[in-house]
Amino acid sequence: MYEGILAPAAVRLQVRRWMAALAGVLAVALAAAPGLAGGQQFSARTEMVEVYATVTDAEGRLLTDLTADEFVILDDGRPQTISSFTAGDVPLSLALAVDRSFSMQGAPLEAVRTAARVLLNELTDDDRVTLIAIGSEVDVAVPLTHDRRAIDDAVHALAAWGTTALHDAVVKAVDLIEPAAGRRALILVSDGQERHSTLTAEQVYARLKASDVMVYPVALARRTPAVFQTLAGLTGGRTVATRRPEELPRIFRRFASELRHQYLLGYEPAGEQTAGYHHLEVSVTRPGARVQARAGYTVGGR
């Protein structure tokens, strides 16, 4: 059996600024209005926060029939009004980061190859994937692509080498897929033994607080490492630990299902939105339901 954690919520959050578009619309409208000097300039800004949420019942089954009225969002403790709501599939940009250090040699790495093929078969034609190989150095084995065969071939070509620069791998994967459209997620599989990264865990956490990439770490170990719990909790992902590599295909299939059955919630924050980190709480009113969503977001850059 594997043990899963308890991340507060599977949620993607994105702060979008539409200043350019809104300013352009206003400029055209105001220039055409009578009595306005052509040299006057106007600007407007609306900030929309978007959050991805995964909702399950008490037995862990995905709930896919919720309405916007059943969701409650607190931003720094203040209730928010949901102004946009989407249920179902949104194109996914996915980073698959594989620990290929010497400690993964043999059955663990072979199980990753099988699980990766299962994961690729669960994705849609609109989804894109990149492969990150983690050893003493972190390599982008395949850039973000729709080409499933390229990913599958590269995973099967991975050979055990080096140690495990986990912290560096997480940040590299986030940097790589964050500019992509749609949902962004990272599935990381490792025995959980960090070695020789240039970045500290605290630096990784700070980077994720300023990102909207969901992280799903899998530990081939007896217990979930504390760093994996924090990665999932901050980003709205979920982490799993298993000592049985043969369970990886089932775990990857579950992650793919969660990513396909999320709710996208959008709101314009009530009150003044100051720079810094804002804490989020996402819940639903349906009895027994549990929500995975990210813990917050950062305004004003990394």
Q: What single string gives the DSSP state of each residue in 178-207?
A: TTSSSEEEEEEEE-----S-SS-HHHHHHH
Q: Is the per-residue pLDDT at 3 higher than 50?
A: no
Asked, for residue 213, whether it belongs to a domain, the answer is: yes
Asked, for residue 37, whether it belongs to a domain, the answer is: no
Tokens of 181: 């459209």
Asked, for residue 23, whether it belongs to a domain, the answer is: no
Asked, for residue 166, whether it belongs to a domain, the answer is: yes
Would you tell me how many other CB atoms lie within 10 Å of the CB of residue 162? 16
> For the chain, what is the domain count?
1
* pLDDT tens, position by position, 108-158: 999 999 999 999 999 999 999 999 999 989 999 999 999 999 999 999 999
Structural domain for 208, as ranges = 1-16+48-302
Question: Can you give the CATH number for the domain in which 77 is found?
Answer: 3.40.50.410
Asked, for residue 27, whether it belongs to a domain, the answer is: no
Residue, of 2 and 236, whose pLDDT is higher = 236
Asked, for residue 154, whether it belongs to a domain, the answer is: yes
Phi and psi angles of residue 229, each rounded to the nearest 5 degrees, phi first: -60, -40
Among the listed residues 213, 231, 236, the one whose alpha carbon sits nearest the alpha carbon of residue 282: 236
Burial of residue 174 (number of CB atoms within 10 Å: 0-12, 13-18, 19+): buried
Asked, for residue 34, whether it belongs to a domain, the answer is: no
Q: What pLDDT score does 191 carry?
A: 87
β-pairing verdict for 14-17 and 47-56: antiparallel
Asked, for residue 42, whether it belongs to a domain, the answer is: no
Q: What is the mean pLDDT of residues 174-197?
A: 92
Q: Is the pTM of this model over 0.95?
A: no
Tokens of 216: 């799903």
